[in-house]
Amino acid sequence: MQLNLSSIHLYKTLRQKPVQFIYIPLMIYWLILFIATSVPIQEFPYFFEAQDKLEHFIAYFFLAILLFLTFHFQKRRNKLSKNALFFSIITIVIYAGFDEAHQLLIPGRYCDIFDFIFDVIGGVIGIFLTRLFFRKKIAA
C-alpha cells in the first residue's frame, strides 16, 4: 500500500509541475546523450565484455521514461497523451536509428545494429515499467 500511495503522490507532482520534473530534465538528458555520442573517441576503456551494450540499454531506458512521461503529461494534443506508449516507442526507434547513423560521421565511432537493438530494448522496457508503475493513474 505504501508504494501505491507514493506512486499517486509522484503522479500528482508530475502532473502539477511537468516543466520542472519532466520537460527540462528530458531536454538536458537528451542533449547530454547527443553530445556524448558525438564526441570522437580513439579507444574507449571497457571493464567487461558487454559494457557497451549495457550503456546503450541504460541510456535509452532513462530517455524512454522521460519521453513517455512527456507525451503522457503534455496538454496540447490529446492524441499524444492518450497514445503515449505508441508515440514513445516510435520516437525511441527513430532516434536510436538516427543516433547510430550519425555516429558514422564521428571519428572513432561506428554504426552497430546491436547497439540499436539494445537502445530499443532499453527504451521499451523503460516505457513499460513506467506505465506499469503508474498503471491505475495512466489508465484513467
pLDDT at 1 over 60: no
Nearest-5° Cα angle at 18, 62 to 29: 30
Judge contact between 131 and 138, C-beta under 8 A: yes
Rounded percentage of the chain residues whose pLDDT exceeds 70: 87
What pTM was computed for the model?
A: 0.87
Listed by start position, the domains of the chain span 2-38+48-139
Query: pLDDT, tens digit, for every residue of 122-133?
Result: 999 999 999 998
Query: pLDDT, tens digit, for every residue of 18-60?
Result: 999 999 999 999 999 999 999 887 766 667 668 889 999 999 9
pLDDT at 2 over 70: no
Query: pLDDT, tens digit, for every residue of 63-88?
Result: 999 999 999 999 888 888 899 999 99
Task: Give the per-residue pLDDT at 66.
Answer: 98
Higher model confidence: residue 113 or residue 8?
A: 113
